[in-house]
Structure 1
Amino acid sequence: MTAQPIHPHEPERVPRHGEGIAAALSGARRMEFYREFLAAAPEEAEGVLKRWWCEAMLDTDPAGDRLTAAALDGTLPTTPVADLVARRREAGLPVE
């Protein structure tokens, strides 16, 4: 099963490639990304890009500070996985 954003970004805030990811990160985090990406074996490179794309999306989220605070305070709304699976089934979407 793949997760889809509730509010998709068109165009995405962070392009899904190394240059786009690096541009969205701050100096120290950008260097950490490059070190990890350049050290990755070819079969690991895609995983590194995916992880750092998520980090870059979180870093550039206008509501990021509010969401982080809510998560740390335990007030961030959550949805049980069973509810999400039921919604996907009702919409005729795959749930594997």
Structure 2
Amino acid sequence: MTAQPIHRHEPARVPRNAEGIAAALTAEARKEFYAELLAAAPEEAKGVLLRWWGRAMLDTDPDRGMRVSAALAGTTTTTSVRDIIERRRAAGLPVE
């Protein structure tokens, strides 16, 4: 008998590293990304990577048009931070 995961694990669409992020961006955006990353102080680099990873994820999202339209129309579903913290606590996860 083998255990099957509840949620099927898919490989990351955009790896969370500079190479993966750059590969997902257009040529123009890639230049901006590298310029910002190279200009960042070491303590700022993680923030630059996270911000550009988010952009790369959105740019490569097959449902991008639908998500952008919903955000612009104000119909995107939201969850309060309080609800997220309560869910994490109930699941025994850290909330720092």
TM category (shorter chain) comes to: 0.7 to 0.9
Letter in 1 for 2:10: E
Moved over 4 A (4+): none
**Unaligned ranges ≥5, structure 2:** 1-6
Find the counterpart in structure 2 of residue 68 from structure 1: 68
Instruction: Report % sequence identity.
Output: 66
Within 5 Å, which residues of 2 pair with 1:1-96? 10-96=10-96
Paired with 2:54 and 2:8, the residues of 1 have a C-alpha distance of 14
Query: What TM-score do the two structures reach when normalised by structure 2?
Result: 0.81
| Structure 1 spans left out of the alignment, 5+ residues | 1-6
Larger radius of gyration: 2
Q: Deviations over 1:53-75 (max 9, x none)?
A: 11111111111211111011011
Deviates more, 1:41-50 or 1:62-71: 41-50
Measured on the aligned residues, the alpha-carbon RMSD in Å equals 1.9
Aligned residues: 90
